[in-house]
Amino acid sequence: MSVPIERPPRKDPQAATRPAELPPLNRSRSALGMTAWAARGIFALQVCDACGRVAYPPRDACSGCLSTSLRFQPVEGGATVIAETTIRTSTDLYFRERMPWRVGMVRLDSGASIVTHLHGDVAVPGPVRMVAKLDKGGNAVVIALPAEDSDNMADDLQFRELTASPKFRRVLVTDGRSAVGQAVAARLAGAGAVSVFVGIAEPWKPFAGQSELAAMANVETMELDLTDTASVTELAGEIGGKTDIIVNTADHVRPGGLVGQDALATAHQAFEVNVFGLQRLAMAFGPGMRARGGDGTNSAAAFVDILPIHAFANLPEFGFHSASCAARHSLLQCLRAELRPGGVRVMSVFTGPVDDDWRQHVPPPKVAPSQIASAVLTALNEGIEESFVGDVAQDVMARFLADPKVLERELSQ
Amino acid sequence: MTQPPQPTGADLLQGLAAGLASGTVEIVDLTHALSPDFPVMVLPPEFGQCQPFRMEEVSRYDGRGPGWYWNTITMSEHAGTHFDAPAHWISGRNLPQGTVDAVPLDKLVGPAIVLDFSAESAADEDFLLTRDGLEAWEAANGAIEEGAWVLFRTDWSKHLGSARYLNLKEDGAHSPGPAADAMEFLVKERGICGFGTETIGTDAGQGGHLSPPYPAHFILHGHGRYGLQCLTGLDRLPARGAVLFAAPLKIRNGSGSPLRVFAMVPGKPAGL
């Protein structure tokens, strides 16, 4: 079993905050294929189309038959550890601050051998489960986990480096007026977050779930309006120095495309919340989070954005909403690059249509707020950069990967 | 018997300037600061919405402009303390000079009558000012003069910052306002210039359920009169004797505008 981490003491204001060092960043184009799968939480390796050999590390030609037709595919994680060592010193700035570090050699059941990080609970020799995760620099790495879950295994320090666990962290949920925001706040408060700050816009307007939200343990509501720069800046002034995880649950949803009578005003509002709201959050909280990415047990860890899958392809019935989400998706890619130097992960949680008042006329399957809350927690606990919640989200993504043009036509029929 | 000579315009303006300088005429601000957290009218979401005031900094003595500070502001014509022109309402849509750029200047300055119904409003959040109420007020205070701005004091501005200002419930907003017969009386029988309130609109929170719906808007603007709302400081005005200044921005074809509203009132006695 792993030793459970302890709640960190309050910060010593005289101690310098350690800058977030990153593990080695450079990867070949081939290796980034593994990163792309790991970003979605899937362990994938190159498999040779010609001879079926599983290749690791990623390469441009098969070491068995010299075929250049190697494709990443999900592979089984079953493996056996055959050797281990513990590194106690390193010249690498990232690892030298985290010594000792356990590494080993495993042989996959599918044949490849891998030099890998070893979870502290792995017994050597013995069976392990191989998983691929993103390290703090955003690259895929593999870690061998014990074949069966062990006690407190999420608290293993090497494993925690690969996740953004909310345990002992302080979370900001940006929109507590919505059922999604309330479900996320409740789930993260129940998952060990020390504080969950919940933003409420226009507090003079009552909203459903208000009293339940006020009664949640470790949850504190704060005034926050993402359309108001001053409001976001003021909240960052209060809690920006101790916000470790942001979950942006805000989403302005209205039906309509470009040519409706009210289209321009509605479009403005959608972009104010979905696009510029995200920017205001990033501008106000991003620099502080980026500076605190290496700040110990409760370092700044993740910026999570919940957005509709139609960021990838326009749903004309919600045309401008889709457009705002596409902009949001693009900006998350930018933010990912901007926060990476601080070791802060930017996670996208793509959802199918949420079961809310604005999508009453949309046929099922729809996504319940609790499903989204679960996906957010899983993304944080597993370090998953892109999640797809619900059948519609998964289906749209699969069709997008197959051919975006076909998807466009299907969505507009 | 000879009439005393009428003061000339020059005399009046000189007197006013002297009064302002000596403090025998004081200026009372009736305007809330425009700020992003000032509530705006809430409409059902299927309708277009009132855009609240927003401000984005362009530069503040920094790399974006080393020597100067300025902002870009956006808002509805009907955000904050604001003026409603006749064209704001469907009943006034065909009137001449119905938009803010066309309002005659002499309508923007005039005598103010302050109706103090703050006690009634404190007792009843849905208090309606009726014709009977106005007649009783006139019996005690004298008739409302033609061309006056009538300001409805409810002390509602003192609720700003709490949920009670908009006072939203499941059946909508609850705040005091005028009944239709009161508006008919003021507009048709007293010939007022305009009507001002401390609440988010000139109508009661539940004014949409009166007949006609939103009687202050419907009747005022249908007769070419003006509205002022989100006023403050009415408790500092005398029941009569103040002069109101309410000049909206000159927006081409505008339906209304945020503005600075102030009143001149008698100040300290002369010679003190």
Query: Does A279 lie in the same domain as A335?
Result: yes
Query: Does A321 lie in the same domain as A198?
Result: yes
**Has residue B2 got a pLDDT over 80?**
no
**Has residue B1 got a pLDDT over 80?**
no
Kindly report the average pLDDT of chain B as a whole number.
Answer: 96
- Could you tell me if A81 and A126 are in contact, meaning their C-beta atoms sit under 8 angstroms apart? yes
Report the pLDDT value the prediction gives residue A154, as an integer from 0 to 100.
95
Cβ–Cβ below 8 Å for A204 and B54: no
Q: What angle do CA A375, A295, A144 make, to 5 degrees?
A: 55
Query: Does A349 lie in the same domain as A250?
Result: yes
Query: Does A140 lie in the same domain as A199?
Result: no
Q: How far B255 CA lies from chain A's nearest CA (Å)?
A: 17
Decide if A361 touches B, using CB distance below 8 A: no
Contacts of A135 (CB under 8 A, 6+ apart): A22, A23, A141, A161, A162
Query: Does A369 lie in the same domain as A274?
Result: yes
Tell me the pLDDT tens digit for each residue of A116-168.
Answer: 999 999 999 999 999 999 999 999 999 999 999 999 999 999 999 999 999 99
B88 given a catalytic annotation:
yes
Cβ–Cβ below 8 Å for B165 and A231: no
Last residue of a domain, one of A160, A185, A220: A160
The partner residue sitting opposite B42, judged by closest CB among A205, A228, A262, is A205
Over range B34-60, report the average pLDDT.
93
Cβ–Cβ below 8 Å for B49 and A269: yes
Cβ contacts (< 8 Å) between A229 and chain B: which residues? 54-57
Query: How many domains does one find in chain A?
Result: 2
Last residue of a domain, one of A127, A160, A193: A160
Q: How far B48 CA lies from chain A's nearest CA (Å)?
A: 7
Cβ–Cβ below 8 Å for A228 and B37: yes
For B:73-132, CB contacts with A below 8 A are: none
Cβ–Cβ below 8 Å for A205 and B49: no
Query: Does A151 lie in the same domain as A187?
Result: no
Cβ–Cβ below 8 Å for B165 and A204: yes
Cβ–Cβ below 8 Å for A204 and B169: no
Query: Does A245 lie in the same domain as A132?
Result: no
In order, the DSSP letters of A212-254 are HHHHSTTEEEEE--TT-HHHHHHHHHHHGGG--EEEE------
**Has residue B227 got a pLDDT over 80?**
yes
Query: Does A395 lie in the same domain as A267?
Result: yes
Q: Is residue A165 part of a domain?
A: no
Report the pLDDT value the prediction gives residue B23, as an integer from 0 to 100.
95
Active-site pick, B32, B78, B88, B221: B88
Query: Does A194 lie in the same domain as A134?
Result: no
Over range B45-60, report the average pLDDT.
92
Q: Which of B204, B154, B215 is nearest to B181 (CA)?
A: B215
Calpha distance A337→B76 (Å, rounded)? 37
Sheet containing strand A245-248, edge to edge, reads: A219-223, A195-200, A170-173, A245-248, A302-308, A345-351, A386-389
- Could you tell me if A239 and A199 are in contact, meaning their C-beta atoms sit under 8 angstroms apart? no
Q: What angle do CA A295, A296, A300 make, to 5 degrees?
A: 50
Query: Does A345 lie in the same domain as A203?
Result: yes
Decide if B72 touches A, using CB distance below 8 A: no
Cβ–Cβ below 8 Å for A229 and B55: yes
Calpha distance A152→B74 (Å, rounded)? 52
The partner residue sitting opposite B166, judged by closest CB among A204, A230, A265, is A204
**CATH 3.20.20.70 describes domain B25-37+77-266:** no
The alpha carbon of B271 is separated from its chain's Cα centroid by a whole number of angstroms, namely 33
SS (H, E, C) chain B: CCCCCCCCHHHHHHHHHHHHHHCCEEEEECECCCCCCCCCCCCCCCCCCCCCCEEEEEEEEECCEEEEEEEEEECCCCCCCEEECHHHCHHHCCCCCCCHHHCCHHHCEEEEEEEECHHHHHHCCCCEECHHHHHHHHHHHCCCCCCCEEEEECCHHHHCCCCCCCCEECCEECCCEECHHHHHHHHHHCCCCEEEECCCCCCCCCHHHCCCCCHHHHHHHHCCCEEEECECCHHHCCCEEEEEEECCCCCCCCCEEECCEEEEEECCCCCC
Q: What would you report as the CA-atom Rg of chain A, rounded to the nearest whole angstrom?
A: 22
Q: What angle do CA A271, A274, A280 make, to 5 degrees?
A: 95
Tell me the pLDDT tens digit for each residue of B70-117.
Answer: 999 999 999 999 999 999 999 999 999 999 999 999 999 999 999 999
Q: Is residue A13 part of a domain?
A: no
Q: Is residue A288 part of a domain?
A: yes
Decide if B166 touches A, using CB distance below 8 A: yes
Residues of chain A with pLDDT under 70: none
What percentage of chain B carries pLDDT values higher than 90?
Answer: 93
Tell me the pLDDT tens digit for each residue of A317-345.
Answer: 999 999 999 999 999 999 999 999 999 99
Report the pLDDT value the prediction gives residue A1, as an integer from 0 to 100.
84
Residue A33 sits in which domain range? 29-160
Query: Does A181 lie in the same domain as A146?
Result: no
Query: Does A331 lie in the same domain as A274?
Result: yes
Q: Is residue A310 part of a domain?
A: yes
Last residue of a domain, one of A128, A160, A192: A160
Cβ–Cβ below 8 Å for A262 and B48: yes
Q: How far B35 CA lies from chain A's nearest CA (Å)?
A: 10
**pLDDT classification of B271: cutoffs 50, 70, 90:** low
Decide if A229 touches B, using CB distance below 8 A: yes
The partner residue sitting opposite B39, judged by closest CB among A204, A230, A269, is A204
Q: How far A317 CA lies from chain B's nearest CA (Å)?
A: 16
Interface A:B, Cβ pairs < 8 A: 38
CATH number at residue A251: 3.40.50.720
Decide if A231 touches B, using CB distance below 8 A: yes
User: Tokens in use for A323?
Assistant: 């457009």
Over range B246-253, report the average pLDDT.
98
Q: Which amino acid is at B142?
A: G
Cβ contacts (< 8 Å) between B54 and chain A: which residues? 227-229
Q: Which among B37, B40, B56 is the top mutation candidate for probing chain A, defined by the most A β-carbons within 10 Å of its own β-carbon?
A: B37
Q: Which amino acid is at A284?
A: A
